Amino acid sequence: MLGRVNHIAIAVPDLARATASYRDTLGAKVSQAQALPEHGVTVVFVELPNTKVELLEPLGAGSPIAAFLARNPDGGMHHICYEVDDILVARDQLIEAGARVLGSGDPKVGAHGKPVLFLHPKDFHGTLIELEQV
């Protein structure tokens, strides 16, 4: 079911600072900040040769990463995103296997304009998993 790692996401309290540390200290190529109101986050992508790192800052009230940052005030690894060929087939297979899909269960359009879903971290060893159809 799983393809490549599309990105690893890190929740940060200060996106400008995090962007600067990846760009200036680590010398990485970083994208412009992109507001995703439907997901309650602003994102910056760090482009690496084999994958991307997604820096996430809360956007608006009730951001889904607000509670995570309350528990991890310095920031921390938030989720890992795997690519799948067909997100609806993957979802139905996972539900059949007893895994929980977060939210309505219908894919939302993610940061790359592709459909995404999130799987409950308690079903996957404490790690929030994002699936992205490529």
Instruction: Give the nearest distance from C-beta 58 to Co ion in angstroms.
Output: 14
Would you count residue 130 as binding Co ion (CB under 5 A)? yes
Ordered DSSP codes for the chain: ----EEEEEEE-S-HHHHHHIIIIIS--EEPPPEEETTTTEEEEEEE-SS-EEEEEEE-STT-TTHHHHHH-TT-EEEEEEEEES-HHHHHHHHHHTTPPBPTTSS-EE-TTSSEEEEE-GGGTTT-EEEEEE-
Which residues are known catalytic residues?
Answer: 130
Would you count residue 81 as binding Co ion (CB under 5 A)? yes
**CB contact at 8 A, 91 and 84:** no
Q: Which of residues 85-114 bind Co ion (CB under 5 A)?
A: none
Query: In the numeric block, which tokens belong to residue 100?
Result: 């929980």
Would you count residue 57 as binding Co ion (CB under 5 A)? no
Would you count residue 84 as binding Co ion (CB under 5 A)? no
Stretch that binds Co ion, among 15-23, 68-76, 83-91, 123-131 (CB under 5 A): 123-131
Would you count residue 9 as binding Co ion (CB under 5 A)? yes
Would you count residue 59 as binding Co ion (CB under 5 A)? no
Stretch that binds Co ion, among 34-42, 48-56, 62-70, 89-97 (CB under 5 A): 48-56
What residues make contact with Co ion under the rule CB under 5 A? 9, 54, 81, 130
